[in-house]
Amino acid sequence: MSSELSRGSWGPPSKGTTVFACMSGGVDSSVAARLLLEQGYDVKPIFMRNWDTLDEQSGSGGCEWERDWDDVERICREHLGNVKPELVDLSREYWTNVFEPALEEWAAGVTPNPDVTCNQHIKFRILPERLLSRSPDAWIATGHYARLRPSALDPSRPALYRGANIRKDQSHYLSTSPIGALERTLFPLGDFTSKDAVRDLAKEWGMHTGEKKDSMGICFVGVRKGFSGFLDSYLPPSPGDIVNDAGKVVGRHDGLWKYTVGERARISGLPEAVFVGKKDAERNTIIVVPKSQVAHDHLPISDLLLAFRSPVLRCTSLSSSDFVWTSPSHPPPEIASPDGFQAEAQIRSLPAGALSSCRVVQRNGNGALQIQLDEPLVGVSPGQTVALYRGDWCLGGGSIKFTQTLADISHS
């Protein structure tokens, strides 16, 4: 998508500019839209319908998009000058670009992130193309906790930065989004340092969404059956062995997608709890490690992921073959050197807001990256998104293709 922005320093548009405010029915997008109105923009609320209830195999409810749509209509009526929101149906595009590819990855035993893919292909590609084709001078706005600033490499273009609220930062989810769309995007919540401040503002304005709980998990997964039950409706059973780190069979599984690296595997008859260490798609096998292989036995179950010392779980390096640089001036030239360049990585397995130091090398001419972690991480799995940073500056992101653990090194 081309932009007709002036070639001066990138910055927000002037007052009166049309801004399509993406609204989900939650507190974040409600406050973001109201802030835009307060700042003098011509706010056009947009509600994306990404999931067709008729396709919902997990029972009625699914995304509960009708309820969210009602919330959007109420916010627009009571707090945005009684403007009528527009419902944009992108369910077919979502199915093709997000859901079907994710199904293929789940079936193969990897762990995709549909939220990242949705931002990359739907919210920041297909939606802007549709909206800006009819309003070429308009901008887009969302309730993401992220920031855009003039790039140090090219001030006429924006660079993506972490939100001021590091624990709520969502730049990781935007790391693969097209820079062409980000050039025409506003993140009104980027400078908020706490979610409480956003909720307090919503309550001050009398917004009913100020009391609404944050949405959790993937939107299309119904509550009644949960994630595993939902996928059972789309993927046929694919049974295989569950083995311990010595190769002994300790159980059976019905499909690799039912298990996540680093999470507890509930297998009856074992002397102690075990956790998923690795999923071997080639052999359709899950490798588990015992709870005793942790650094501190007194840690609660929720903290075990941070303390595992099992070499099967401790990832030392990873590769990405589809990495997207958020700046056209990237990658840095030193990436082609034998030593690569130093950066910081964010992966879903890390605590909220945490980054891990790493060294990045481009291994061949097609853009594939090898990322060597300075310290091993646990819970890293193919399919997850890795985003690279220098400080708060997000350099880009890509999906993890392969991982190498301490166990792999010892066997090589």
Do both 190 and 288 map to the same domain? no
Which domain, by its residues, includes 277? 237-306
Residue 376 lies in a domain: yes
Q: 273-308 burial string, b = 16+ CB within 10 Å, else e? A: ebbbbbbeeeeebbbbbbbebbeeeeeeeeebbbeb
Do both 181 and 204 map to the same domain? yes
Residue 107 lies in a domain: yes
Fill in the amino acid letter for 211.
E
DSSP string, 227-268: HHHHHHTTS----EEEEETTS-EEEEES-GGG--TTSEE--T
What pLDDT, on the 0 to 100 scale, is given for residue 336? 80
Residue 231 tokens, joined: 């996928």
The residue that leads in pLDDT, 376 or 198, is 198
The residue that leads in pLDDT, 318 or 354, is 318
Among 306, 325, 346, identify where a domain stops: 306
Among 253, 275, 306, identify where a domain stops: 306
What pLDDT, on the 0 to 100 scale, is given for residue 221? 58
Do both 47 and 109 map to the same domain? yes
Fill in the amino acid letter for 60.
S
Asked if residue 57 has pLDDT above 60, the reply is no
Each residue's pLDDT tens digit, 288-298:
988 877 544 44
Do both 144 and 168 map to the same domain? yes
Residue 13 lies in a domain: no
Asked if residue 52 has pLDDT above 80, the reply is no
Each residue's pLDDT tens digit, 168-200:
999 999 999 998 899 999 999 999 999 999 999
Residue 319 lies in a domain: yes
Q: In CATH, what number is assigned to the domain containing residue 337?
A: 2.40.30.10
The mean pLDDT of 315-321, rounded to a whole number, is: 94
Residue 258 tokens, joined: 């039912």
Do both 158 and 26 map to the same domain? yes
**Band (208; pLDDT cuts 50, 70, 90):** very high
Residue 3 lies in a domain: no
Do both 291 and 327 map to the same domain? no
Residue 223 tokens, joined: 């509550």
Each residue's pLDDT tens digit, 225-261:
567 778 888 999 999 999 998 899 999 999 999 998 8
Among 284, 306, 328, identify where a domain stops: 306
Do both 45 and 165 map to the same domain? yes
Do both 25 and 62 map to the same domain? yes
Each residue's pLDDT tens digit, 101-154:
999 999 998 989 999 999 999 999 999 999 999 999 999 999 999 999 999 888
Residue 76 annotated to the active site? no
- Are the C-beta atoms of residues 89 and 49 closer than 8 Å to each other? yes
- For residue 206, the SS3 value is coil
What pLDDT, on the 0 to 100 scale, is given for residue 304? 46
What pLDDT, on the 0 to 100 scale, is given for residue 287? 93
What pLDDT, on the 0 to 100 scale, is given for residue 285? 96
DSSP string, 2-49: -----SS---PPPTT-EEEEE--SSHHHHHHHHHHHHTT-EEEEEEEE
Residue 154 lies in a domain: yes
**Average pLDDT over the chain, rounded to an integer:** 87
Do both 146 and 174 map to the same domain? yes
Residue 322 lies in a domain: yes
Do both 61 and 85 map to the same domain? yes
Residue 406 lies in a domain: yes
Do both 302 and 368 map to the same domain? no
- Are the C-beta atoms of residues 258 and 267 closer than 8 Å to each other? no
What pLDDT, on the 0 to 100 scale, is given for residue 334? 83
Residue 300 tokens, joined: 């609660």
Q: In CATH, what number is assigned to the domain containing residue 119?
A: 3.40.50.620
DSSP strand pairing (341-347 vs 356-362):
antiparallel
Do both 45 and 194 map to the same domain? yes
What pLDDT, on the 0 to 100 scale, is given for residue 330? 77
Residue 6 tokens, joined: 């002036």
Q: In CATH, what number is assigned to the domain containing residue 275?
A: 2.30.30.280
- Catalytic entry in 118, 315, 358, 394: 118
Domains in the chain, number: 3
The residue that leads in pLDDT, 131 or 224, is 131
